[in-house]
Amino acid sequence: MIGYLILVHRYADQFKRLFRAIYNDQNHYVVHVDKNSGTDLENEIRDFLLPYSNADMIRSEKAIWGGYSLVNAELRGMERLLEMGDWSHFINLSGQDFPLKPQKQIMEYLNANLDREFIKVLDQDQYRPDTMHRVTEYVVELDESIQRTARSRPFLSDATPYIGNQWMIVTRAFCEFVCREPSVDRYKAFYENTLIADEGFFQTVMMNCAIESEIINDDLRMIDWISDGDIKLRPRTYQRADAADLKGSSNLFARKFDQTVDGEILAILERHLAKQAVANVDRLRAMPVDPAFAFPLEGSAA
């Protein structure tokens, strides 16, 4: 069973297509709607979810790009899912993601990898020194934006900063740890005043704390990162021309999609998923993991 957190900020109809594509009555679902999106979107999604007893919404709060509010939404979503029932893995998605495999296959794959965390992770100072200002520069999250300051500070003593991206598939044990373990509080307090905390907080906690699991340096998402002005990279929006690559991918999910740019690609994937589910083909039984991407955690302390 899976606990899904879906972060939505627009396109109610596209969210509904995503929800239907990942729905299984054994799973649990939590949705957060960015408060900046207004009450109409939140109300439409709330009404849509009413028939689903295994789905819930958490309180809508503003999610500021680059701010700790995104981490806070993840933590609140994790906590609500922990309260809702039993599941083995947590998966976070945006409202503009879409599955590339039928839900039964995703569940089967994760059931074969019960003690593995799937998350992109790099030693930040060693491999991404150009981003170290994100954790050493003191920033303040305001109501509408991030306020940068002239103040700098060293990173947490006896800890190493790590970086990746926001997307992950992690175990229930890790969610319980990061939400409820008191030793994680210092990481939460520090990252509240960092830039783009959602791309480093979870990786840093995972790699510095005594988690009894294996980390796989892969988020199982098909994402085509492209340059975009001041933002170094952003995910390219997939269209019909990408259909063959998407259908042939070994990843579980892809991002991102935009129904106002190309809604037909979603229809293509919906038909593909239906065909896979009926024919019971292209199964994911124990997809091999490259040992070079594995990070066994042992003996470290928070």
pLDDT of residue 296: 46
The arithmetic mean of pLDDT across residues 21-36, rounded, is 98
Global pTM value: 0.91
Q: Which domains does the chain have, with CATH numbers?
A: 2-280 (3.90.550)
For the segment 200-238, what is each residue's pLDDT rounded down to a tens digit?
A: 999 999 999 988 899 999 999 999 999 876 657 899 999
Sequence-distant (≥ 6) Cβ neighbours of residue 257 within 8 angstroms: 14, 96, 97, 98, 237, 238, 265, 266
Which among 167, 262, 178, 266 is positioned nearest to 223, based on CA atoms?
167
In the predicted model, is pLDDT for residue 167 greater than 90? yes
pLDDT of residue 302: 38
Q: Are 200 and 135 in contact (CB under 8 A)?
A: yes
For the segment 252-294, what is each residue's pLDDT rounded down to a tens digit?
A: 999 999 999 999 999 999 999 999 988 754 454 555 555 555 5
Contacts 24+ apart (CB under 8 A), 182-187: 183/209, 183/301, 183/302, 184/209, 184/302, 186/156, 187/156, 187/159
3-state helix/strand/coil string of 57-84: ECCCCCCCCCCCHHHHHHHHHHHHHHHH
In the predicted model, is pLDDT for residue 300 greater than 80? no
Sequence-distant (≥ 6) Cβ neighbours of residue 11 within 8 angstroms: 95, 96, 258, 259, 260
When pLDDT is cut at 50, 70 and 90, the band that residue 9 belongs to is: very high
Task: Tell me the CA distances in angstroms from 75 to 97, 99, 189, one per residue in order.
Answer: 20, 23, 13
Which among 77, 101, 105 is positioned nearest to 91, based on CA atoms?
77
Question: Across 9-121, where does the E strand assignment appear?
Answer: 28-33, 55-57, 89-94, 97-99, 116-119
pLDDT of residue 232: 72
- Among 66-80, 96-110, 180-194, 278-292, the range scoring the smallest mean pLDDT is 278-292
The secondary structure of residue 144, as a DSSP letter, is S
